[in-house]
Amino acid sequence: MPDNVLSFPMSGLSNTSVSISITEGYLRYFNSQMPTLMDLNVFIPAGKWTCILGRSGCGKTSLLRYLAGLLDQRVNWSGKLRIDPAQAELKDQVAYMAQQDLLMPWLSVLDNVLLSTRFGESAKTGFSVKNTHKARDQKEQALTLLEKVGLADNAHQLPQQLSGGMRQRVALARTLMQNKPVVLMDEPFSALDAVTRYRLQDLACTLLKDKTVVLITHDPQEAFRLAHQIYLLRGSPSTAELLTTLLSSTPRVFDATGAQLQQRIMERLEYDDDE
Amino acid sequence: MMNKVRLKSVFKVAVTLCVLLGLWQVVVMIFAMPSFILPAPLEVFEKLIQRRDVLLKHTFVTATEIVFGLLLGLFMGFFFALQMLLFKPIKRWLLPILIASQAIPVFAIAPLLMIWLGYGIASKIVMAAIIIFFPVTTCCYDGLRNTPSCYLDLVKTMGASKWQRLRHIQFPASLPTLASGIRVAVVIAPIGAVAGEWVGSSEGLGYLMLQANARMMIDEMFAALLILSVLSVALYFVTDRLLKKYIPWGVS
């Protein structure tokens, strides 16, 4: 049973879902006079997909980088961050997927999926019976995940031999391998062609069902297909506005409701930079 | 298909060689060159076979110098690049020395090296190492420094420590850049070794050429020259093939 393989015995975090709330978020780059984000209040519910939409430069990527613990020395951030359950730091509970697949070109597909096992807690070095067992289990797990994203036959190829869509599927498997309760996605499908993007949205939706997902996108259709709730980041400095909460099950088929929602989003964002 | 491509390139090289040799022969015949100025290709080949023992012995010496010089230079380059990456102050102190080591022509310090390290093979190894040290260090340093920041971000979210990032990401990511440094090094290392032999030695192809030149044995000199170029070219192609095989993802 593949599902047995995927229930991770060593990590207590995996099965609990985590919700995140940010209140009064404020972010300013040191080289700019104006703050990028101000009065930011966002609640990200556990086990649901939250889409954050906004135009380029509205600070949505900065927000995601903050959640991933990747803000560097060049920014000033203040604000309250609460996670529930408060069992560990947020940055230890997130997996990150970027617009580029970020597959290491020197590692095989399988080793790319296994990348996270080299670092952090799970990377206990040294040879012991326990470690060899663990390594074998992890490898099996990775192969199962590759099967789930339909790339079992490509496990030993190098990333450069794969197409863009396949590479992003490997990245998805790598994210799943990390088995973190929160998945942060920064426009992960935007570089793909329409059909591949559509398929990957479905796949991600199925495989990340129980996770708390934050998806940054500038594509209203994508938000409609996947989101349980949609935030708009707009204004200057940007604030977050909860546009809508969608209750139906995902992935949705784009229909009249979707078209209306897309129109609403467009109207809201259209004059954003003229303010 | 691969074999066909390879056969084609071998064929091309062979044609080029034949044309060059033909031209050489024609020049010798038309201008009636005396053999102590420009020997005909056939004379050179004759010499090559006739003196093969001597030539082989000196070739071995020079090859050893080149290989060890390469190893030493690569090791030093890699070591210093790593130091500069890890300790910022070292970079400030080391960089002027590095640049100075390039500003001073190797020929100028060669006699010093002879005095310090003797007329044997050690001084030539050091010469070859010094001459390749700079390109290797800069390539290696650039490679280590210019790891795509998105790779590093990704593994930071996976909880990678500084050392883990260096070992698992920065080091392998630098390999293609390092490989181009190695390619350059392989081409210029023989220059260092032969220059060292010219300045002072008792064996090696450079020594042999100098001796032959002094005795107007230009055909022998050409034979040594031929061996030297074949050696360098072979070294380059072997290195290139190995690098392509083990670092197949390339820079592009």
- State both tokens at B236: 């380059």
Query: CB contact, 8 Å: B153 with chain A?
Result: yes
CB-based contact A19:A212 (threshold 8 Å): yes
Q: Do B160 and A120 touch (CB under 8 A)?
A: yes
How far is it, in rounded angstroms, from Cα B105 to Cα B116?
17
Q: Average the pLDDT over B104-114 and give the result.
A: 85
Q: Do A102 and B160 touch (CB under 8 A)?
A: no
Pick from B150, B172, B175: CB nearest A102: B150
The pLDDT of residue B69 is: 95
Kindly indicate whether the domain formed by B35-246 is annotated with CATH number 1.10.10.10. no
Q: Which residues of A touch B172 (CB under 8 A)?
A: 104, 106-107
CB-based contact B119:B202 (threshold 8 Å): yes
The pLDDT of residue B90 is: 83
Query: CB contact, 8 Å: B168 with chain A?
Result: yes
Phi, psi angle pair for A53, to nearest 5°? -110, 145
Pick from B157, B169, B173: CB nearest A96: B157
Q: Average the pLDDT over B179-191 and give the result.
A: 92
Q: Report CA-CA distances (Å) from A147 to A51, A111, A157.
A: 27, 15, 14
> In this prediction, what percent of chain B has a pLDDT beyond 90?
48
Q: Spell out the per-residue pLDDT of chain A, length 275, in tens.
A: 344 444 444 444 445 688 888 888 888 888 888 888 888 888 999 889 999 998 887 888 888 888 888 887 788 888 888 888 877 788 888 999 988 899 999 999 999 999 998 886 655 556 667 778 888 889 999 999 999 888 989 999 999 999 988 999 999 999 999 989 999 999 888 888 888 888 889 999 988 988 999 999 888 888 889 999 999 888 778 888 888 888 888 788 888 888 888 888 888 887 765 44
Q: Do A106 and B175 touch (CB under 8 A)?
A: yes
Query: CB contact, 8 Å: A109 with chain B?
Result: no
The pLDDT of residue B179 is: 92
The pLDDT of residue A123 is: 57
| Total Cβ atoms within 10 A of residue A1 | 6
The pLDDT of residue A7 is: 41
Kindly indicate whether the domain formed by A2-93+180-274 is annotated with CATH number 3.30.310.50. no
DSSP state of A254: P
Domain map (residue ranges) of chain A: 2-93+180-274, 107-179
Q: What was the ipTM of the complex prediction? A: 0.85
